[in-house]
Amino acid sequence: MREPSAVFVQSDLSDGLTTAVRSGSTWSAAGAEVSWNDGTVDVTATTISRVALRWSERLPADALILGDAWERSYGDLQWRHVQPERLLPWYFLVHDPQTGSTAGAGVDVQPSAFCAWTVDDDGFTLWLDLRNGGGPTHLRGRTLTAATVRLFNDGGTPWQTLNAAVATMSTRLPARPEPAPVVGANNWYYAYGENFDEKAVLQDATTIVELADGHPVKPFSVVDDGWYPGGVCSGGPWDSGTPGVFDDMAGTAAAIKAIGARPGLWFRPLLVREPGRWASTGPHDKPGRALDPSYPEVLDGVRADLQRFRSWGFELVKHDFSTYDVFGAFGPAMGSRLTRGGWQLHDTSRTTAEIILAFYREIRSAAEDVVVIGCNTVGHLAAGLVDVQRTGDDTSGRDWERTRKMGVNTLAFRLPQHNRFFAVDADCVPCTPQTPWELNERFLDLVARSGTALFLSIDPAARTDRSDRALRNGIHLALSGGAAAENTAIEPTDWLVNTTPNAWRAGDEVLHYDWSRPWGADPTAN
C-alpha cells in the first residue's frame, strides 16, 4: 500500500490535530514521530492521543461503502452511499456499481490502537485512537507499533472481496485448527437470569442431548447470567453460586456431563458487587464497581476465576460486558470519542487497546483448553484470543423483531470472519411462547447451514412436535458443520440492498427466508 499523502498528530486532548512535516517515510509534529514501513505505522512520542493518516483518491460515482463495528454490531451493518462523517471501525470496502469492482483497506487484527476509517469523495482517512481511557497515553519516548495497514483489491464480487480482506487481516494469527462445531443450549432467552435453578439447568442439558439424538459431537449446555448471588448482571466475586439454588457448582457441572452435554458458564469479569480496590475512575452507572484491567491485581483475579471454573469442571466460559465496563458505553454510543474525557486507566503508559489486549490474553492463557466465548468484546482485538465471538447484540425470546434485526444482520455481514478471526456466534435461536416459531425456525435453518456457532434457548413450555423436528434437524446439521462440511459456502445475495438479507445461496441451492410473515415462507400467502 502506498504511503499516506498527509499525516496529522494530536498530542494532548486540549490541542487540535497538527499537520505533520514529512522527511522520507517519517512525519513529525507536536513532539511525535510517525513512521511508515510498508504499511506498518510506528509512533514515537512522549504524550500521544491520536494520529490520522490521509490518502487522496477520487471515489467512483454512486459508490457503496461498508465498514465493521467496534464490538458487537447492533443491526446497523450495511452498504451505504458516501457519508463522510460515518465512522468505519477496523476496515472498509468501496463498491463501484458501474464496474462491479470492490476494493478497500483495513488493519491487521490485534493492533495497539482503536482504528477507524472515514471515506469521502476525495479519499479516505485512517484514525488511530492512541488514548488511555479518556486522556493521552504517556509513551515517554517509547516507539509503539500502532497498526499495520492492508489494501484490499477486487476479489471478483463484494462477498469474495470481504472474505479475502478478512483473511488478509488475520494472516499474523497462528493457523486456526479445524474447530469442532460449537452447538448447545443457553437458558438466557427464556429465563433471563431469573426463576431458574439447578433442576432447570439439568432439564436444559437433557433437552439438548435428546435433540442432538446421539450425534458424536457433544453439545454444550450453558448456565448463563443469574447463577450467583446478587441478582442479574450484579458482578463478582465469582466463587460460589446462589445459596439454596446453586450450592455446588462443581456438582452442577458434573451432573451436566453425566447427562451427556458439555457444561458452560457465563461471567462478567470486570464488575464486582461492592465498591473496592482497583476500581476504574471511568464513567459507569455503577461507580467504584467496574474494575480497571491495567492493574496487575485485576488480571490476577480474572486468572483465578478462570482457574476456578476449570476446577469446577466447566468446559466453556463466556465472558461478557467488558467493553462496557472499560468505556462506560456500548458500541453505538462509543462513536469516535470511545469514552468520556477526563479520566484515565491506572497504567497511563499503555494505550487502551494495549491494556484490553493484555486482558484478553490473560483470559485465553488462564482458560487453557476451555472454550472461550467473548461477548461485548472488541472483535478486532479479540481475534485469535477467543474461540467464539458474539458478533451481534442480543436476539430475543420475547420480541421476534429484535432477532431479525440483530441476528440476521450480524450473520450476513460478519460471516466472513467465521473461522478466520474466531467462530462467529449470531446469538441464540429462541423457542419460546412469546415468539413465533415459524420465524425462529427459519433463523435456526440459516444459522445451522452457516456452520457458525448455534445456541438455543428452549423454553420447555414452547416445545411441540413441529418445533422438536426442526430443532433436531437444525442441531444435527450444525453439529455436522453445516453446509460448509460439504464444501458448500453460504452467502447472502441481496446484502447490497438489504440489511437483513432474504436471499441466500448455498452452492447451487437458492434459498429464500421471509423474516416478516409468520404464516409461511411463500410471499404470496395471505
Q: What is the pLDDT of residue 526?
A: 30
Tell whether 291 and 331 lie within a shared domain: yes
Q: Are residues 310 and 194 in the same domain?
A: yes
Which DSSP letter does residue 55 get? E
| Residue 383 domain boundaries | 183-488
| Per-residue model confidence (pLDDT) at position 519 | 55
Positions in the chain whose pLDDT score sits under 70: 518-526
Domain membership of residue 253 (yes or no) is yes
| String of DSSP letters for 349-380 | TS-HHHHHHHHHHHHHHHHTTSEEEESS--HH
DSSP state of 405: I
The structure's pTM equals: 0.96
Same structural domain, 433 and 375: yes
pLDDT value at position 504?
98
Same domain, 154 and 244: no
Residues 116 and 192 in one domain: no
For residue 287, say if its preceding peptide bond is cis, omega within 30 degrees of 0. Answer: no
Q: How far apart are CA 492 and CA 486, in angstroms?
A: 18
Amino acid 523: pLDDT: 38
pLDDT number for residue 489? 87
Q: Is residue 141 in a domain?
A: yes
Domain shared by 130 and 191, yes or no: no
Q: What number of H helices and E strands is found in the chain?
A: 13, 27
Say yes or no: 327 and 460 in one domain. yes
> pLDDT of 477-487, one tens digit each?
999 999 877 77
- Tell me: do 53 and 107 sit in the same domain: yes
Domain check: are 198 and 65 in the same one?
no
Widest pairwise Cα distance in the chain: 72
Asked if residue 321 and residue 276 are part of one domain, the reply reads yes
Q: What is the CATH number of the domain that holds 428?
A: 3.20.20.70
| Domain identity same for 135 and 239 | no
User: Which residues does 119 contact at the CB level (< 8 Å), separation at least 6?
Assistant: 59, 65, 82, 84, 86, 88, 92, 94
Are both 372 and 446 inside the same structural domain? yes
How many other C-beta atoms can be found within 10 angstroms of the C-beta atom of residue 258?
A: 10
Number of domains into which the chain is organized: 2
